[in-house]
Amino acid sequence: MTESFNLYWIPLSPLVGAVFNLFFGAWLIRSLGERVGKEIVHLVAIGAVAFSCFFTFSLVSENLLSGTAPGGRVVQHAYTWIASGETDVGFDFVLDHLSAVMCMVITGVGLLIHIFSVGYMAHDHAYHRYFAYLNLFMAAMLTLVLGKSLVILFVGWEGVGLCSYLLIGFWFTDDEKATAGRKAFIVNRIGDFGVVLAMLIIYAVVGSLDFDRIAEFCAPGENSPFVVGTIFGVSLATVATMCLFLGCTGKSAQIPLYVWLPDAMAGPTPVSALIHAATMVTAGVYLIVRLNFLFALAPLTMAVIALVGALTAFFAATIGITQNDIKKVLAYSTVSQLGYMFLAVGMGAWVSAIFHLVTHAFFKACLFLGSGAVIEACHHNQDIQSMGGLRKKMPVTAWTFLISCLAISGIPPFAGFFSKDEILLHAYLNESQWSVAINYVGYGLGLAAAACTAFYMFRLYFLTFEGEFRGDHHTWDHYVREHWIMSLPLVILAGLATVGGFLGYPHALPGSHALPHAFDVWLAPIVELSESFTDPGIRLGLRPVAGVVEHGHVTALGEIAFMGLSVAVAATSIYVARALYKDGPSAVVERWLTIPAMAVAHRLSYGKYFVDEGYAYIISAVNMLGQVCYRFIDSVLIDGLGVGGTTGLVSFVGGGVKIWHNGNVRRYLATLLVGVGILLGSIYLNPMISKWGASPLNSVDAGGLRPTMGAQSIKMKILGLFEFDLPARSGEHPNRRPPQDGAEGNAP
Amino acid sequence: MVPITHFLYLSAALFLIGTVGVLMRRNVLIILMGIELMLNGANMALVTFSRMWGRLDGQVFAMFVIAVAAAEAAVGLAIVVSIFRTRNRSDVDDLSMLRD
Amino acid sequence: MMSAVELTFLAFAALAVFSAIVTMTRSNPVVAAVWLVASFFSVAVCYVLLSATFLAAIQVLVYAGAMMVLFVFVIMVLDVDESGRAEHRRPSPTARAGYFAAVGITVGFLIWVLTGTLARQYVTYGPPLELRDFGSADSLGRLLFYDYLFAFESVSFLLLAAVVGAVVVARSRRDREKEAVLRGFAGTERSAAGLDPDDLADEVLGHSPVPAHDFGAPSATGHDGGT
């Protein structure tokens, strides 16, 4: 199984690029001048990612597509990291179908974003640092998806969290941005706590964190130790997966830990595109799909995931309707779309989730990059209320943005239509082992969220690109324009968003023989374990609904019905949005807002439901604890007593001892003798060494150094090199005469 | 036959007298003489044990002690000379240069 | 009746101890030195009784001969004041107590150790001496130059260091400064005129013929070395 394909070059090459840029980037720019230095920096960065990209694609086509790799995957054991007793953790990488998909997306989209960044960050002072961090992020993310065990995954997990912090707070001299970075990291950490707990539980059951071992333990289905074993009556699978889900809510911005994602827009826009749209936030989804067999054993958790996902999708969508910052809208849109992915995994539709992940990467990245181009054009203005009419001067951006909006709204034939529709289908039709209500709630919320999505995306589009420019003329004349280097990735991504959907052509539709559902086929080996569970408590599959599901498959009629419904909803929303906003901010909406109910709703939505403020209130309690720790434990106890106390004690003792040193030689001599006396005493008065008789002045009894001192053998090894091996001496001293006067001899 | 322990008593006595002299006297030259007495006491013990075990190592050791004692006396006296040259007084209590 | 050996031992051991006590109680260092010589001689005799003949000779030559001569020379050079002014300063009661305590501890230990470890069965004369010339120069020399060669060479080094050290340490300040000046003093017409370099140096340094103050004075606070 283990072949030396050097998989580790995929994450290693961006890591090398990152290290190079960190160490030499600044020096290069300083010494070779801005143009040449920056050229080298971004060439190194892009080259590293390009290498990973091409290597990934070549590996996939060579080994996986052609079917030559054993077991359908490439495994590499790079390095034994921890070998302790029975624990053996290695840096094992695996390139199977799932990680191949993720790698291709990550490296492909990442490459495009690196290219975009060259244009976007062209005038930034910390050019090298940006590309270094970006490469570091790529390395961490690739480690995450290529890991063969939870440990390596977690290494990457933490790595992306770190890079997210570094990149969000990239312009850290601005307090607000630095705070946003910190918030992201801390909220992530709360989630990571869950992941660690889950890792511990899994390790306790399985004895290893390797995915293959975990799969073996989950294979028995309801008889697996994960289900049989319980904690407080709850099965181990449920506990572990709940903890993992906590981590996923942190990393993938679901309720309750989504609050960092909107603030993360403080970072540079390409960062938002890469991390908070295409890759990092999908790590949670990847984790769940990777461990789908474990999650399948815990129907309660699945229900929770589905509900949380659906709720988040709707919740975030309602917030997005009222936002005026172009990036914030996209941020909430991301949260909402991630909710869809979690809805999918919660219903057991693993493949759909990955499908949506991929298509979302395409159109969301395109959206973010487009917004980046717009922000650059409007001279770092992000408020859509002062934009408008940009299509005239930025046609490529406008068209790609439009395509992506259509994709995200779920309009055929663009990518989002196929993936989102599939999710909604499975939300309604997949059997939930918990309750059938989940289907209704999930589908209902999902559909409502789709409506909102279409609405706010087109509101965004119209307010930004259509109508008349509402900003100042200086900006319009001098800044609003397109750069080819920023438009190129947009075009590529928009193209992918157009055709990508056909990778998931539904079975039920006619023509599916010619164009099979690529993702279903590709990811079949990943999900086959969980799909194979037949025990009633954990079975996955479609529930029988008359007319729609027959023989365990969706009929063409059902498929088309669902499609029609979602397209209709989306089209309606788009129509409403167009009617309201096609000429700019809508007077109609202004009038509506005077109605008290609407005003309250608007206030709630605009204020993000005041969740942040609520959290701040909760945190203030923790903050108080922190203050106590700082003021008392740190300042008083540790600094005062610990450090200060130690030094004070030393000074005190020193001061005391100093009195004895008056320079009087005789005193020193006397002290010397007393010291000698003490030394001798420690030998002669020590019962372990010296043996005394009943009375020291009794000359009959023998006293003296114990013969046992020589009777022990001494074996020492110094530094592993020098060996001392002194054998025990017998009690007989070589020169000792046997006692002459018949007094008792010494017994050894 | 002199019991060999008597030699050890002699060595102890010499050492002791030397020690007392070193501690109680103030004249630095007398102190140095006391040190020589202590060394003699140690030498005596060494030679005694050498005789006891019938091995010459003790005597060799004693010879080294004599050599080192000579060197030490020379340097010590040189120091005394350099410190007390013009004072016409050799009171060790006057010395407090070792103080911090 | 005691044998000759026992008698000799008794006499000379007593002499050694007596001389030692007298040495330590004289106020005149020269007298003390002479009594110390007596003690050394007695110890040498005891060495002979222990079959350490060569060592006895060394003891007389080095200790009594060379070292005590050095002592006496130094006493003369220093021209120690005999008025005993210094000795009239009594140590404070605490200091006296301290010294007695130190002495007491040492004495106690010595007694304890000796009586404790010197039970007869441990300390006896060993097997009869194999060497006919135990303690002779020949046998000692063999040991010294075969087994203990390294130590021997090191000690010779040590002696060299001691000699050089003693010379360096005992130089007076005047000697030092003169040397420094002379080393850096290029020839001038005065030197060419045949004037004495020492006087020249003195003039340069501004020394009056009689040194006003010597180096190495203790701290300005004077006699705080007392207890």
Q: Nearest CA to C59 among C46, C39, C72, C41?
A: C41
At residue A156, the pLDDT reads: 94
Helices A665-684/B4-24 angle, 10° precision: 150
3-state SS class at C107? helix
Q: Which two tokens stand for residue A737?
A: 């005469």
| Residue B11 domain flag | yes
Residue of A nearest to C218 (CA): A663
Chain A touched by C102 (CB under 8 Å): yes
Asked whether A466 and A328 are in contact (CB, 8 A), the reply is no
Contacts of residue A150, Cβ cutoff 8 Å, sequence gap at least 6: A199, A202, A209, A210, A211, A214
Which comes out higher in pLDDT, residue C164 or C196? C164
User: What digits encode the pLDDT tens for the residues A240-279?
Assistant: 999 999 999 999 989 889 899 988 998 899 998 988 777 8
| Residue B99 domain flag | no
Out of C117, C126, C224, closest to residue A703 by CB: C117
Helices A150-168/A175-206 angle, 10° precision: 170
C-beta atoms of B51 and C51 within 8 A: yes
Chain B touched by C149 (CB under 8 Å): no
- Binned at pLDDT 50, 70 and 90, residue C191 comes out as very low
Q: Which residues of A touch B (CB under 8 A)?
A: 658, 661-666, 668-670, 673, 735
Neighbouring CB atoms inside 10 A of A572's CB total: 13
Residue A644 pLDDT greater than 80, yes or no: yes
> For A130-134, A247-251, C31-35, C119-123, which range has the lowest pLDDT when averaged over its residues?
C119-123
Chain B positions in Cβ-Cβ contact with residue C51 (cut-off 8 Å): 51
Chain C positions in Cβ-Cβ contact with residue A666 (cut-off 8 Å): 99, 227
| Residue B48 domain flag | yes
Chain C touched by B98 (CB under 8 Å): no
User: What digits encode the pLDDT tens for the residues A602-630?
Assistant: 888 888 888 888 888 888 888 898 888 88
Quote the percentage of chain A above a pLDDT of 90: 35
| Neighbors of chain C by Cβ distance (3+ pairs < 8 Å) | A, B
Q: Which two tokens stand for residue A430?
A: 């997949």
At residue C193, the pLDDT reads: 46
| Neighbors of chain B by Cβ distance (3+ pairs < 8 Å) | A, C
User: What digits encode the pLDDT tens for the residues A399-457?
Assistant: 999 999 999 999 988 988 999 998 998 888 888 777 888 888 999 999 999 999 999 99
Residue of B nearest to C131 (CA): B54
Give the minimum alpha-carbon distance from B60 to chain A in angstroms, rounded to a whole number: 19
Out of C95, C127, C226, closest to residue A737 by CB: C127
At residue C99, the pLDDT reads: 73
Alpha helices in chain C (DSSP H): 4-25, 29-49, 53-58, 68-78, 93-117, 137-146, 149-169, 173-184, 189-192, 197-205
| Residue B47 domain flag | yes
Distance CA(A351)–CA(A344), nearest Å, equals: 8
Distance CA(A670)–CA(A662), nearest Å, equals: 13
Q: How far is CA A27 from CA A3, A36, A330, C113, in A?
A: 40, 12, 37, 74
Residue of B nearest to C130 (CA): B54
Domain boundaries, chain A: 1-148, 183-297, 302-606, 664-697+707-733
Find residues 86-145 of chain C whose CB sits inside 8 Å of chain B.
86-87, 89, 99, 102-103, 106-107, 110-111, 114, 118, 120, 123-131, 134-135, 139-140, 143-144
For residues B30-49, one letter each, b for 16 or more C-beta atoms within 10 angstroms of the residue's C-beta and e for the rest, the string is bbbbbbbbbbbbbbbbbbbb
Q: Nearest CA to A263 among A455, A359, A271?
A: A271
Asked whether A570 and A458 are in contact (CB, 8 A), the reply is no
CA angle centred on A368, ends A446 and A287, rounded to 5°:
55
Chain C positions in Cβ-Cβ contact with residue B35 (cut-off 8 Å): none
At residue A199, the pLDDT reads: 94
C-beta atoms of A666 and B98 within 8 A: no
- Binned at pLDDT 50, 70 and 90, residue A744 comes out as very low
Out of B53, B54, B98, closest to residue A663 by CB: B98
- Binned at pLDDT 50, 70 and 90, residue A229 comes out as confident
User: What digits encode the pLDDT tens for the residues A311-344?
Assistant: 999 999 999 988 889 999 999 999 999 999 999 9
| Residue B76 domain flag | yes
ipTM, interface predicted TM-score of the complex: 0.91
At residue C120, the pLDDT reads: 46
Distance CA(B62)–CA(C44), nearest Å, equals: 12
Backbone phi, then psi, for C141, in 5-degree steps?
-65, -40
**Would strands A549-550 and A553-554 be described as parallel, antiparallel, or unpaired?**
antiparallel
Chain C touched by A742 (CB under 8 Å): no
Residue of B nearest to C72 (CA): B29
B50: containing domain: 4-92
Tokens 């007869």, residue located = C120
SS percent in chain A: helix, strand, coil, step 5? 70, 5, 25
Contacts of residue A662, Cβ cutoff 8 Å, sequence gap at least 6: B96, B99, C224, C225, C227
Three-state secondary structure string covering C8-53: HHHHHHHHHHHHHHHHHHCCCHHHHHHHHHHHHHHHHHHHHHCCCH
Chain C positions in Cβ-Cβ contact with residue B79 (cut-off 8 Å): 169-170
* Mean pLDDT score across all residues of chain B: 86
Chain C positions in Cβ-Cβ contact with residue B46 (cut-off 8 Å): none
Find residues 25-84 of chain B whose CB sits inside 8 Å of chain C.
25-27, 29-30, 32-34, 36-37, 40, 43-44, 47-48, 50-54, 56-57, 59-60, 62-64, 66-75, 77-84
CATH number at residue B77: 1.10.287.3510
Q: How far is CA A5 from CA A58, A60, A88, A98, in A?
A: 11, 12, 22, 18
Chain C touched by B23 (CB under 8 Å): yes
Which comes out higher in pLDDT, residue A185 or C117? A185
- Binned at pLDDT 50, 70 and 90, residue A386 comes out as confident
